[in-house]
Amino acid sequence: MQESFVSAAAQALVLVFVVGPVLGWLKSGAQNESTSKSLNRFTLKTPRTYARVFLGAALAFEALMIFSYAYNGISFGDWDTSLLWLGHALALVSLIIWFIAVMQRLEVDGDVLRYRSIFGRTRQATFSEITRVAKSNQNMLISVYANKKRFASLSGDVTHLNNFYSRCEKEGIPVTARERRPTTIGTLYRSAISVFIGIAAGISGVLIVIVIVLVVAQSASPVLLLDTVPACIALFIIIVGGCSVLPLRGILQIKRQERVLGFSFAREMQQSSARGSSFADQRWFIAVSNCNIIAFRRDYLTAVSTSKTTDSGDECRATAVDGKKHKVRGGAPVLKEFRAWFNCPSPSA
């Protein structure tokens, strides 16, 4: 039985690391759904490309299970039955994600906003009632508040998000970061790796749920669950530990600026009353994007190039006063803001 679980867990991990790159490859197709320039009529929703992937995965898993039933004449050993339970579980998870993706949306029709939640409940408000828009860590979640109460919550991957931000700017609605902790190197680092923590927790949680299903459905020994928990903890540590080195580039860039210009980053953040992982004023530009820390002081830079898309994602080059050229990676919108901040003599905070 333990061998069955190890095999099932290995297949689950393979699927995770295959589906991830596929979604990244399909992102370009999803971006094509956000080409509308209208600020009066557009819809914020999960791109059809993403939804189709999960619906296709659910159908593919179930089709594979049906084929297995027919091929084996509904006669399986313990090892085969465990894999079938895994297939049904993955199909169910994919179907749930697809359902959430197609249900949640925010329609903008002139001055009216109509929001449909993942449970199908609909709400309506006008832009005059919207008090603020809050972006969570790395824009993964967008919360819209009407009359100081939460009106809508959306993923940061929805279509026409830039249209919505532009409309909010036109209406004078503030778009702020949700984090209110003082900005420090530790705050930026925790913000950057929080995505990895969520991914690792999700993978570990799915594996534990699958084992619970096996224990309950097949009367397997509870010892299997006791063996699984330490394995999931080890998996969590490996994923977070391995990926947590990515934000170190941004921290090294901050330390180099401190040496070259002779200042204290912590002291300057206190003087600026900076909070959260997103901050910009005439002196500093700070952001966390795609698990990368972007933090530069204006007088340290002499040039910032336009961003370009590479195999590793979007990036640009920042040239420092000491001749050092820094490779800056992040989301295309953030890199565009970074260059605009550098070229603008009086950027807004």
| Mean pLDDT across 43-71 | 80
Task: For the chain, give the mean pLDDT.
Answer: 78
Beta bridge partners of 175: 133
| pLDDT at residue 268, as a whole number | 92
Q: Determine the pLDDT at residue 180.
A: 66
pLDDT per position as a tens digit, 87-143 = 777 787 788 888 888 888 999 999 999 999 888 899 999 999 999 888 775 566 788
pLDDT in tens, 152-171: 988 877 888 888 988 998 99
Alpha carbon distance 236, 241 (integer Å)? 8
- Give the sign of the dihedral formed by CA 163, CA 166, CA 170, CA 172: positive
CA 344 vs CA 41, 45, 257, 280, 337: distances in Å: 30, 32, 21, 12, 10
Q: Which residues contact 322 (CB under 8 A, 6 or more apart)?
A: 260
Mean pLDDT of the region 196-220: 68
Instruction: Return the minimum-mean-pLDDT range out of 12-21, 54-63, 128-137, 224-233.
Output: 12-21
* 323, pLDDT greater than 70: yes
Report pTM: 0.59
Contact present, 139 and 153 (Cβ < 8 Å)? no
What number is the average pLDDT over the span 221-244?
68
Q: Which of 96-105, 195-204, 222-231 has the highest mean pLDDT?
A: 96-105
Strand 41-45 to strand 292-297: parallel, antiparallel, or no bridges (unpaired)? unpaired
Which pLDDT score, from 0 to 100, does residue 301 have?
Answer: 95
**Residue 312 DSSP SS3:** coil
What is the mean pLDDT of the segment spanning 230-251?
A: 77
Q: CA-CA distance, 152 to 1, in Å (whole number)?
A: 45
The residue-averaged pLDDT of 67-74 equals 67
Q: Can you say how many angstroms the Cα of residue 46 is from the centroid of all Cα atoms in its chain?
A: 13
243 pLDDT higher than 80: no
CA distance 167 to 189: 32
Q: Where are the beta strands (DSSP E) in 47-163?
A: 105-109, 112-116, 122-126, 130-135, 141-146, 149-155
CA dist 293 and 277 (Å) reads 9
Distances (CA, A) of 204 to 135, 189, 235, 347: 27, 22, 7, 43
C-alpha Rg value of the chain to the nearest Å: 23
In terms of average pLDDT, the best of 45-49, 63-67, 136-140 is 45-49
49 pLDDT higher than 60: yes
Task: Measure the CA–CA gap between 8 and 318, rounded to whole angstroms.
Answer: 46
pLDDT, position 302: 94
